[in-house]
Structure 1
Amino acid sequence: GLKFFEQKIRPVLTQHCYSCHSKDAQTNKKLKAELFLDTAKGMLAGGETGPTLIKGQSAKSLIMKALKYDGLDMPPTGKLPANVIADFAKWIDMGAPDPRQGELVAKPKREINLAEGKQWWSFQPLKEIAPPTGAASNSIDRFIQQASAGKKLQLSKPATKEQLLRRAYYDLIGLPPTPEQIDAFAKDTSAGAFEKVVDELLASPRYGEKWARHWLDVARYAESGGYEFDGFRPSAYHYRDWVIRALNEDMPYNQFVKLQLAGDKLHPDDFQAASAAGFLVAGPYPGQITAKTVERIRYDQIDDMLMTVGGSMLGLTLGCVRCHEHKYDPLLHKDYYALAASLAKTVHGTRVLDPDPVATKTKLEKHQQDREPLVIALRKFANDELPKRFDAWQKAELPKQPEATRWQILEPVAVDAERSYLKWLPGGIVAHDGTINPGTVKQRGRGAKKATPANDEYQITFQTHQKNLSSFRFDCFTDKALPQRGPGVNADGGFQLTELKITAKPLDAKSKEPVQELKLKAVFAAFEDKDQPLANAVDGKPATAWVVKTTAKKDNAAIFELEKPLAGFAGGTELQITLQFRELGIGRLRIAMCTEPNPTTWAGDFVPQNVYEIRGILAANNNKVPEPLRENLARWFAPFDEGTNKFVQAVRSHDIAMPRPPLTEVYTTIDGGQDVFYLRRGEVDNKGEKATPGYLQVLTRGELPKGAEQKDPRIALADWMTDLEQGAGPLLARVMANRLWQNHFGNGIVSTSNDFGFQGERPSHPELLEWLAKELTKNGWKLKPLHKQIMLSATYQQSHESHAENSKIDPENRNLWHYQPRRLDAELIRDALLAVGGNLDTKNMYGPSATNDNSQQRSIYLRVKRSELIPLMSTFDAPEPTQSIGERISTTVPTQALVMLNSPLVRQQAEKLAKRIAPSPETPMKEAILAAYRIAFARVPSDNEQDEMQKFMESQRKIMGGVSPANNDKAFIEFCHTLLCLNEFVYID
């Protein structure tokens, strides 16, 4: 055995394994997986993934899986030859004899001390911080002044009114002020003039559109799955629209977070809550998955959710804990999987819900109210006019009607379905109207709601006054509107009828006779598979079905006979026919009945049941029509009398026009997925025990409220995330307060806005951040009051002027001694171009994303496809939405200037701007230049700028061949284009 080891095993280990798995590898800092394969003891002990081998059991040894590339691929440079792998199996099976000496090398393990970890500044409970004393009325200013005073920094003078107005407009709504808005602010000399502007901007619908863009960055929002396939998600835009609405409504931030984590669980039938939950599944997801990769991709999706939740809401790098304890932060490996278990049964998908159930309920109630007068009119006609009309017809026409026929087409009096909406068509046909409801609930008549099952079920109600019913016939028709022409509604055009049930009860509500469940036997089908015959529909076994699949695109029919003819009830019979399907049902269905025994074929005439119902009523009432039956008689008599038909059809038409909810698809979370297990090194082929839902221990204080473990795991997670006393609420508040500050000043108090852990930057003004976070929670978690507090501070209202001495002391302006100019985000540059051109569409909010870059809607409404980002956006640093982005980079590269010079969009908007303000006899050139500056920069040009631009246009006219009306227009366009290419246009100062 030792000889075999020396000849066959040691050389392979030396050549392929020692470089990464030996004491020398440890010395050279190249050791992988804490695994030593250079000693016998190390070989047996294994590394992070467990023991390397089990003596005598090659089939159960981890090293064999690695050599065979079965989940673990070793060596990574390439799979070893089959004979070498066979040698290792033989060696293990002979007991793995190994002469190598050497003790196990101690593996230092970092122990996380949670008690110490909880002392980290961002993991502590929120403190009540009193602002410093000072002359400033705004508390923010006193914090900033206190920090600056100790460093001998001189704060800048206030910005001009024009600078401040432009800054506020871009900060809050992402658009430039108009000349009219500039003039109004200039004329308002009151002390509260700027506060009034801030209030107006916070109330503007444009606010939500601008600030939603910041959140969509951290939410890694896009409308496609990414990767090679990059499949489109046509209903993902509802999440974007929800964010805009939530911000415009100033939804409390804790509720904003809760709905994104568990909206679909908190409010299962609410469209907006389902839209909010789209946050969890907004990330990339492969479009092509194999059986081998499905489990790994599932864990990757949960990891994407956790990384996004961690970065966006908690400012923590949770992805680092998937494989091991966090190397820097006090985040435990088991805590990661506790959070993962909370999301285990969450997958992406689509649901169809009513976006406005309140409006639908109101419409249904009004529809019902409007029906009452029609019914009253019918009833009055039936009592006053019908008897004499019917008597005349009975004597003259009834004897001429046919005496017998095989099949009578039943006319439904009510139809309903679980997953579908059905409608009546002429000729007794019940039709699927093309609307499928796979959502959580379905709106019923008068606003009632009922849970929607996975499989459809039709309930169709008929009435008859005839006796001795023997058989029923079901005709299933094809139609071009159905999938594959039908007759089924399933994607293949087929259907699977699992159960057919028919019950009969008296029409007379006072009758005490019980409901009868009719026993059926299958007689005949136009098509039936020998393994899935018609008889399956009446065998009482939901697991079996009559399957119509191979005859898709052809009409079909089936006949069922009653085991015992139905004699019928005195006063008439109500039949309810229930058809239960696997998945979806039949697209076009007609039901007929027969009073003949044993109709073994479907041959025979088809007639409406009207004449036979009239005869049935007369036969049961001594050839008379009692008053209680007159309204019912009118229904059967209507086809034979125009006057009667007018009243009957008024009710019937009204019933057919019952409002349907505007069901809308939304990309969101749906139930699915499997339990989560602890993964050693994050590898799906190396599972430990099952994980149970839980939280980050470092952020949990004391015992959680009773009943938390009984809640849905995502609801419990949302509660913990927003819990200020015992959960992550304090960190949640700090992170969001920092994001607001960052997007007003260009840099957060914590500059690493997605990392508040040990590797993140410490806050430049820790007490100010603590105070802001506390203010956020005191204001009921509302963001708009915090915006206002920041913008009314003298710190925010400083000019951008620099000071040489200040720059030496604080070159990065971390102490905010002046306002830091910053470039507009890519989307705002495009919006500003459309705004100055005068053709920005601000009326069309929400809805499907624009697929054409030339759309005049705001940029937030442009489709975001991960593999096809818009070039203008990418040039100006719009991020790839593959992960949570807490802060955009801002580059300065030559291509940006080239885009502004050569982009068709920029040129087009320059032409439109020129057309808006072109000089004319009524508008001298000086006035036109002034108007252009006010529109583009919200200020008037200096005398020098006026002169320079006049000279520029003169030079352009010379190049074009001299002065002429056409050249004057072209030169003015060049001037406008030049303004749009200046840095000032794309920078806030």
Structure 2
Amino acid sequence: MAFSPSCVRGSSMPSFWGLAALFLGCAAHAAERDDFFETAVRPMLVEHCIGCHGPKKQSGGLRLDSREAILKGGESGSALVPGQPAQSLLIRAIGHTGELRMPPKGKLPPAVAGKLTRWVADGAVWPQSDTAATATFQISEAQRRWWAYQPVRPALPPVVKNQQWPRSDLDRFILAELENHGMAPAQPADRRVLLRRVTFDLTGLPPTPVEMAAFLQDTSPAAFATVVDRLLASPTHGQRWARHWLDVVRYADFHDGNPKARNPVCEPLEAWRYRDWVVRALNQDMPFDRFIVHQIAGDLMPAPNGQAPYADGLVATTFLVNGAWDRGDADKEKMLSDMVDDQIDTVGKAFMGLTLGCARCHDHKFDPLTQTDYYALAGIFYSTRMLQELGTKGGEITLQRRPLAPAEQVDRRAALVRQVDALNARVADLDKKTPKTPADDPARLQLLAERDRLKATLPPEIPMAMAVSEGGVPGSLFPGVQNVPVHIRGSYTRLGPVVPRRMPGFLAAASQPPITTGSGRRELADWVASANNPLTARVIVNRVWQWHFGAGLVDTPNNFGMLSQPPSHPALLDWLTARFVADGWSLRKLHRRIVLSATYQQSGAAPPEQRIKDPDNRWLGRFAPRRLEAEAIRDAMLLVAGRLDLSPDGPATDDLAVPRRSLYVQTARWDRSSFATLFDAANPDASGEGRGVSTVAPQALFLLNHGFVLAQAGHLAERLAREEPLDPAARIRRAFLLLYGRPPDAAEMALARTIGAGSPSAPAADKAAWRDLAHVLLCANEFIYLD
């Protein structure tokens, strides 16, 4: 790929898989709209509207308990124009913009009104389901046979015609499908291209010229494997792959992007400890099943050294606390039920590819999950404490923090602080006396000396983590460890039968040992992380494949249910999954198996007829070029400019100009105007299954005009001048090696010399010319794309 702009490649011919994906996408959108109505709109109508506009009372002749009734309207006419909120009397009434005002005593909170407006704009979908889970829920034969619910069945690698191409058994599964579809794999990638690809893939950074030269000089059969092992052992590997995982678990450093506006009681100020734990866990190749258990029930795990508390276990449960939650709603019980729903939904999607949240208001419409399954899980999370307190009506919640030090150390420091405070109070009392106590009063000086002596012995502040504990939230409907009732239509105001805490019946078996002690999180973690769970290992293997190739073997990494598209290579997915588990759930071995394959090492070139036959590269007959993520673009700029600070750990900064890796630049939920968001970073409000790739004018404007990019261009030009001070051609070659991992061709050299042609007799103009060339090279497609 040259450093001139590239063309958009594609085909106007729709494929079968494209049409199938379109159909499934429409169905998924319909399910999403149904779920939004049941979880956000119906409970709001019940709480705020049905009392005056329901079956018992119809103020103004209007009922709001069915879509037909709202369309019919009352004395003022139809209350609803689906798809047109501005034309809907209902939306105008809740906005208090005319004579008709609902509710009459005051406007709805903006967040509530916004949900109703969104519902109308999306067509005012009103599902016909009217009740909670019923005893008549039946598992269909199609559900019983769905591939994702079957045990993993590792198949033997298939026999292929081309025996020379496969480097491993993985390749035989890919080649068999290519041959079945009348296609052939692409040629191997150029070695420079391959090293750049794998270095970005495994570390999020480009290879240095030294690393490139060493690889090119190593002609041994193990040369690429040596590179892979080096990259997997690098601390930068964990930083790169932590960002992938943080997308999945809806991680944010803060809610508010403005440090001065943050309320410390409800801001996730200690979230960075979880991020740093993820980095360490990945760099240590923590078995993924243990990785799961830490996040669901780490506070219940014994410390490896036998000394409490187990700090890593506590920090890992930040996963359950760092959600995109409403913080100051007046309806605290509704807020708490939304928090529990977020926990259930995120655990289901992140670890098992299950949309468990879709069973909050009714039985799941597609998958074998009942509403009683949902509230069996809800009991586990209602029995888990993640808040210090709910707060007053309309006030902020207080997140629970737990100390990461032994109890005796915490108590000792607290006792010393109390003594210091008492001495300060006595000094203050002396200072209030009339006449005022002299500053050199012996009694006062003695108190100050004692206070200063104690302060000198005061240990450092105890580190804290946002962490859960056993027991529900004090002051809530469910303040202890207990089973909870079904919430009819998802509302805590209408409670049905109590459901014992357990795992989903169809997936975990109908007969399960009862949970008799504790919340049940340890049992949940063990079930999710079990090798017998047909979903968990498949889901993470699919995610890793997706992060290496741009698309998973299953196109919907967060949903392996019946609305998902079956895997393109089901036998390969099970073969990889079985080996992943047999390897001790080692992500490092999985990475190695994938990137050492001939499949991964293909070039991106393919004959035109093959691109027409497989425009989406579903059968993996070539490597699909893709744009780097926002973080990799920024980090690569810093690295080639000689500015990147690789130091790990610590709180995130709000300053884009700080030369640390982008992992340590804040993700703030309420700030959607950041550099990362501009380049399609994940939305931290919910579990992200993959990042989109948009191409919009503000991206080009950022690269052309933003101070950060201009500063890196200047630093790059200065670096090039230091390293190649005398020879312009050598300086240009150095620039291409740094940015693209290759030397320029003759045309590129000529063009670069034209751009960088300053005047040695005019230093300022010469410096500006080289800065312009550096800027052009940073803005090229080749810098931000992987071949």
TM-score (norm 2): 0.74
Structure 1 position 719 matched with structure 2 position 514: no
Structure 1 position 274 matched with structure 2 position 314: yes
| 1:118, distance to aligned residue in structure 2 (A) | 3.1
| 1:785, distance to aligned residue in structure 2 (A) | 0.4
CA distance in 1 between partners of 2:778 and 2:419 (Å): 53
* Corresponding residue to 2:280 among 245, 250, 259: 245
What's the secondary structure of 1:419's corresponding residue?
helix
Structure 1 position 829 matched with structure 2 position 633: yes
* Corresponding residue to 2:224 among 179, 183, 194: 194
What's the secondary structure of 1:689's corresponding residue?
strand
* Corresponding residue to 1:208 among 238, 242, 251: 238
CA distance in 1 between partners of 2:338 and 2:748 (Å): 57
CA distance in 1 between partners of 2:593 and 2:469 (Å): 40
| 1:827, distance to aligned residue in structure 2 (A) | 0.9
Structure 1 position 351 matched with structure 2 position 401: yes
What's the secondary structure of 1:881's corresponding residue?
coil
Q: Contact conserved, 1:218 with 1:884, CA < 8 A, in 2?
A: yes
What's the secondary structure of 2:756's corresponding residue?
helix
What's the secondary structure of 1:677's corresponding residue?
strand
Q: Contact conserved, 2:602 with 2:623, CA < 8 A, in 1?
A: yes
| 1:710, distance to aligned residue in structure 2 (A) | 4.0
* Corresponding residue to 2:365 among 327, 342, 360: 327
Which residue of structure 1 aligns with residue 17 of structure 2? none
Which residue of structure 2 aligns with residue 815 of structure 1? 619
Question: 2:372 corresponds to which letter in structure 1?
Answer: K
Question: 2:497 corresponds to which letter in structure 1?
Answer: E
| 1:123, distance to aligned residue in structure 2 (A) | 1.0
Question: 1:933 corresponds to which letter in structure 2?
Answer: F
CA distance in 2 between partners of 1:116 and 1:797 (Å): 38
Structure 1 position 912 matched with structure 2 position 718: no
CA distance in 2 between partners of 1:304 and 1:295 (Å): 14
Question: 2:508 corresponds to which letter in structure 1?
Answer: T
Q: 1:915 to 1:755 in 2, by over 3 A?
A: same
Q: 1:761 to 1:422 in 2, by over 3 A?
A: closer
| 1:272, distance to aligned residue in structure 2 (A) | 1.0
Which residue of structure 2 aligns with residue 167 of structure 1? 197
Question: 1:838 corresponds to which letter in structure 2?
Answer: G
What's the secondary structure of 1:128's corresponding residue?
coil
1:590-614 CA-to-partner distances (Å, cap 9, x unmatched) read: xxxxxxxxxxxxxxx99x9xxxxxx
| 1:737, distance to aligned residue in structure 2 (A) | 0.2
Q: 1:664 to 1:477 in 2, by over 3 A?
A: closer
Structure 1 position 872 matched with structure 2 position 675: yes
Structure 1 position 140 matched with structure 2 position 170: yes
Structure 1 position 898 matched with structure 2 position 701: yes
Mean CA deviation greater in 126-135 or 258-267: 126-135
Correspondence list, 1:366-385, <5 A:
none
CA distance in 1 between partners of 2:652 and 2:71 (Å): 58
Which residue of structure 1 aligns with residue 97 of structure 2? none
Q: Contact conserved, 1:738 with 1:769, CA < 8 A, in 2?
A: yes
Q: Contact conserved, 1:342 with 1:693, CA < 8 A, in 2?
A: yes
| 1:708, distance to aligned residue in structure 2 (A) | 5.4
Q: Contact conserved, 2:681 with 2:691, CA < 8 A, in 1?
A: yes
Which residue of structure 2 aligns with residue 287 of structure 1? 327
Q: Contact conserved, 1:222 with 1:866, CA < 8 A, in 2?
A: yes
| 1:224, distance to aligned residue in structure 2 (A) | 2.6
What's the secondary structure of 1:685's corresponding residue?
coil
Which residue of structure 1 aligns with residue 40 of structure 2? none
Structure 1 position 680 matched with structure 2 position 488: yes
Which residue of structure 2 aligns with residue 965 of structure 1? 763
Q: 1:685 to 1:431 in 2, by over 3 A?
A: closer
* Corresponding residue to 2:549 among 745, 749, 756: 745
CA distance in 1 between partners of 2:545 and 2:766 (Å): 47
Correspondence list, 1:13-162, <5 A:
15-16=62-63, 20=67, 78=102, 111-113=137-139, 116-134=142-160, 135=163, 136-162=166-192
Question: 2:604 corresponds to which letter in structure 1?
Answer: H
What's the secondary structure of 1:335's corresponding residue?
helix
| 1:161, distance to aligned residue in structure 2 (A) | 0.9
CA distance in 1 between partners of 2:723 and 2:283 (Å): 42
Which residue of structure 1 aligns with residue 117 of structure 2? none
Q: Contact conserved, 2:334 with 2:492, CA < 8 A, in 1?
A: yes
Which residue of structure 2 aligns with residue 977 of structure 1? 775
Q: 1:765 to 1:78 in 2, by over 3 A?
A: same
Q: 1:431 to 1:77 in 2, by over 3 A?
A: closer
| 1:24, distance to aligned residue in structure 2 (A) | 11
Question: 1:859 corresponds to which letter in structure 2?
Answer: S
What's the secondary structure of 1:888's corresponding residue?
coil
Relative to its length, the structure with more strand (as a share) is 1
Which residue of structure 1 aligns with residue 582 of structure 2? 778
| 1:130, distance to aligned residue in structure 2 (A) | 1.4
Structure 1 position 305 matched with structure 2 position 343: yes
Q: 1:553 to 1:731 in 2, by over 3 A?
A: farther
Question: 1:344 corresponds to which letter in structure 2?
Answer: Y
Which residue of structure 1 aligns with residue 50 of structure 2? none
Which residue of structure 2 aligns with residue 255 of structure 1? 290
Correspondence list, 1:234-633, <5 A:
234-267=269-302, 269-290=309-330, 293-346=331-384, 347-348=386-387, 349-354=399-404, 419-421=411-413, 432=418, 477-479=422-424, 485=425
CA distance in 2 between partners of 1:661 and 1:124 (Å): 53
Which residue of structure 2 aligns with residue 179 of structure 1? 209
Gaps of 5+ in 2: 1-54, 73-78, 80-92, 94-99, 106-128, 303-307, 388-398, 434-442, 447-452
CA distance in 1 between partners of 2:138 and 2:460 (Å): 55
Q: 1:870 to 1:80 in 2, by over 3 A?
A: closer
Which residue of structure 2 aligns with residue 689 of structure 1? 497
1:141-169 CA-to-partner distances (Å, cap 9, x unmatched) read: 10000001011112111111110100011
CA distance in 2 between partners of 1:782 and 1:871 (Å): 34
Q: Contact conserved, 1:251 with 1:782, CA < 8 A, in 2?
A: yes
| 1:921, distance to aligned residue in structure 2 (A) | 8.2
Which residue of structure 1 aligns with residue 391 of structure 2? none
TM-score (norm 1): 0.60
Q: Contact conserved, 1:131 with 1:143, CA < 8 A, in 2?
A: yes
Q: Contact conserved, 1:225 with 1:285, CA < 8 A, in 2?
A: no
Q: Contact conserved, 1:271 with 1:354, CA < 8 A, in 2?
A: yes
Q: 1:963 to 1:417 in 2, by over 3 A?
A: closer
Question: 1:689 corresponds to which letter in structure 2?
Answer: P
CA-based RMSD of the aligned residues comes to: 3.6
How many residues align? The count is 633
Identical-residue share of aligned pairs (%): 35
Q: 1:152 to 1:854 in 2, by over 3 A?
A: same
Q: 1:22 to 1:477 in 2, by over 3 A?
A: closer
What's the secondary structure of 1:216's corresponding residue?
helix
| 1:232, distance to aligned residue in structure 2 (A) | 2.9
CA distance in 2 between partners of 1:139 and 1:419 (Å): 58
1:540-569 CA-to-partner distances (Å, cap 9, x unmatched) read: xxxxxxxxxxx99989xxxxxxxxxxxxxx
Structure 1 position 663 matched with structure 2 position 462: yes
Q: Contact conserved, 1:919 with 1:925, CA < 8 A, in 2?
A: no
1:98-147 CA-to-partner distances (Å, cap 9, x unmatched) read: xxxxxxx9999984316652321111111122111342241111000000
Mean CA deviation greater in 816-825 or 107-116: 107-116
* Corresponding residue to 2:534 among 730, 743, 749: 730
What's the secondary structure of 1:273's corresponding residue?
helix
Q: 1:707 to 1:302 in 2, by over 3 A?
A: closer
| 1:418, distance to aligned residue in structure 2 (A) | 7.2
Question: 2:639 corresponds to which letter in structure 1?
Answer: A
Relative to its length, the structure with more helix (as a share) is 2
CA distance in 2 between partners of 1:199 and 1:965 (Å): 45
